[in-house]
Amino acid sequence: MKQTWQNVRDFLKLVKKDYPYAVYVIISNALAKASLPFVNLVYYAKIIDALTNNQYEIAIKYAVLMISLSLALGIITHFTNRDIEMYGYTLDGSLMQQITYKAMVMEYEEFEKTDSMDSIRMAKGKANGAGGAGSQIEYINLFVIQIISIIYSLYFMGKLFINLKYTNFNQAIIWMLILSFMFVGLLIIGNKISKLSSDSFEEMQRKNVHFNSVSSYICYQATIEIKDILLYQLQHLFITYNQSVNKRLGIYIEWGKKNGLYTAIISLCMNIFAATSYIFVGVLAINGSISIGNVLLYAGTIQRFVNYMTGSVTYYNQIRYHADFLNEYSKFINKPNLHYVGTLPIEKRSDNKYEFEFKNVSFKYPNTENYVLKDINLKLNVGDKLAVVGRNGAGKTTLIKLLCRLYEPTEGEILLNGINIGKYDYDEYTTIFSPVFQDFALFSIPLDENVASGLQINNKKLSECLEKVGMNEKVANMSDKEHTLLYRDNGEGVNVSGGEAQKLAIARALYKDAPFVILDEPTAALDPIAEAEVYENFNDLIENKSAIYISHRMSSCKFCDDIVVFKDGEIVERGNHTTLLEKDGEYASLYNAQAEYYA
């Protein structure tokens, strides 16, 4: 229970970010809604009593008061309802936005973890309708209404008890005992049934999350990855999966049956209790303990009290269920940063004099045992062109990931101009790199926005960069030229080839114009002519910037004066093409192995 309220508090904090007054709105709404029936009951009683005493004017006065109060409460309800409904509609979307944002800014190392991935999957499941923030707001509101109503009921029941005339006291006590027993029984049954009902609801929703995620995955893949589906005839497999998705209907029916039974049992018990409480209050009226008008007030109060008690249990269970789910989001969104968050600005140097140094850097990936980098010592200055070579899995890409602060070194440190890179503000730090990763991503947005990484586009610069990577002509022939939408995810876009995408990714790196260019297997998807062009123009491309160039094509590294050779996470050789060949070590062995194919 404590955990549930903690989760609800966290959830309301999230809501507050978007809607600072949400809690006040919910409470005002609940107050108005809970007060309305009692205002009516109290004034009905007063009007009936005035009428039975022939006090017509007083009756009219009460009627006018009742109508005015109801109107005022109705107006509050109307406006707060409107806001609560709006929260309901927008909160799930907004939560999804917060999750997306967190996913985009969180540390890469954290992002890769399974529980982060699970949170994102759950968020997507929620977007598919497994109940979410909107419903939680609704249930919290309903729960608060029940609690306020219970307080009202207790007040009026206490008043009834105090007003009982002494002569009927014993009789009233017996009736109250009977009612109390029934009430306790009803509460136990109600609680049990409400728990059963919410458990089965919870089970249904959890099963649905999985089916929803499978269903949207299949729908997405079936419209994107057509080639493989056609040629491996995956339709049958996918249809089988989709049929298993139809199990959802079965789950709903199963839950519907159970829930129908639970509701029937509860309403039968409530009706018995309502009848008994009317008889009790009726007897009190006949005995003259209470006025005729008050029969309505007190019988109504007792009957409502039971409704509110069972209602509060039901809504509490719903809140608990939703809180469990939503807690996953809050946990994800509020995940603290793993690392020291740097604040230092990057020194803006007109001479571009930056120096990186890896000092005794060793690294193993989180939750793994083996070091993939061992005691790396390496210096790099602006203007240097460094080639990094080595077999697959030697640790080349990992070196780049550490340099870009996607991971922190397990041991040792990386310095920029003598200061640990972790101490710099991360956003500023990223401005000095133009990386093209092996698994780079372009997005389904217009081509120019992809290359310029934003909406502000310098057309001259864009054209120069496209020219440098040999894409100008291709882009000129596209339907919307540089504004052409890439890929089909977001509309009638253009599918570019792997090689073209790689050229665009290089153009994006050039457009960024950062002092350090990192090219990780930059020509893997290019055809031999395009690859040759990249090498020939390499110095033009890079100009006076630093470049770290990773390639498994040894011939492509020849033009670099400084080549480091990685083997099993260690730097085993360093030199230029000629000196390394002379050494007849790892480099020579890799080079000769590839040269054989061309001989």
Site of interaction with ligand ADP (CB under 6 A): 112, 365, 368, 372, 390, 392-398
The Cβ of residue 412 has, within 10 Å, a number of other Cβ atoms equal to 16
Helices (H), 246-376: 247-286, 292-333
- Of 180, 142, 149, 118, nearest to 319 by C-alpha is 142
| Closest CB to ligand ADP among residues 145, 590 | 590
| Closest CB to ligand ADP among residues 368, 479 | 368
Environment class of 373 (CB within 10 Å of its CB; exposed 0-12, middle 13-18, buried 19+): buried
Q: How far is the CB of 336 from ligand ADP (least distance, A)?
A: 21
| Closest CB to ligand ADP among residues 466, 505 | 505
Calculate the CA 190 to chain-centre distance: 35
| Closest CB to ligand ADP among residues 116, 317 | 116
Residues 6+ apart with CB under 8 A from 305: 150, 153, 154, 157, 183
Asked whether 442 and 505 are in contact (CB, 8 A), the reply is yes
| Closest CB to ligand ADP among residues 307, 398 | 398
Q: How far is the CB of 592 from ligand ADP (least distance, A)?
A: 19
What amino acid is encoded at 90 in this protein?
Answer: T
* Cα–Cα distance for residue pair 267/263, rounded to 1 Å: 6
| Closest CB to ligand ADP among residues 399, 526 | 399
Q: How far is the CB of 389 from ligand ADP (least distance, A)?
A: 9
| Closest CB to ligand ADP among residues 18, 568 | 568
**For every residue of 126-142, which 3-state class applies, written as one string?**
HHCCCCCHHHHHHHHHH
Give the CA-trace dihedral at 505, 508, 509, 510, to 10 degrees.
120
- Beta strand pairing status for 385-390 and 562-567? parallel
| Closest CB to ligand ADP among residues 22, 372 | 372
Q: How far is the CB of 510 from ligand ADP (least distance, A)?
A: 23
* Cα–Cα distance for residue pair 555/536, rounded to 1 Å: 12
* Cα–Cα distance for residue pair 123/115, rounded to 1 Å: 12
What amino acid is encoded at 528 in this protein?
Answer: P
Q: Distances in Å between the alpha carbon of 79 and those of 25, 32, 83, 136, 311?
A: 9, 11, 7, 19, 24
Q: What letter does residue 422 receive in the DSSP assignment? A: G
| Closest CB to ligand ADP among residues 37, 412 | 412
Q: How far is the CB of 395 from ligand ADP (least distance, A)?
A: 5
Q: How far is the CB of 35 from ligand ADP (least distance, A)?
A: 58
Environment class of 392 (CB within 10 Å of its CB; exposed 0-12, middle 13-18, buried 19+): exposed
Q: How far is the CB of 103 from ligand ADP (least distance, A)?
A: 17
Q: How far is the CB of 390 from ligand ADP (least distance, A)?
A: 5
| Closest CB to ligand ADP among residues 342, 395 | 395
DSSP codes of every residue in 486-532: BSSTTSS-B---HHHHHHHHHHHHHHHT-SEEEEESTTTTS-HHHHH
| Residue 568 CA neighbour count, 13 Å, CB half | 2
Q: How far is the CB of 453 from ligand ADP (least distance, A)?
A: 24
Does residue 219 sit in helix, strand or coil? helix
Q: How far is the CB of 587 from ligand ADP (least distance, A)?
A: 14
| Closest CB to ligand ADP among residues 390, 446 | 390
| Closest CB to ligand ADP among residues 3, 594 | 594
Asked whether 392 and 552 are in contact (CB, 8 A), the reply is yes
Q: How far is the CB of 396 from ligand ADP (least distance, A)?
A: 4
Q: How far is the CB of 442 from ligand ADP (least distance, A)?
A: 21
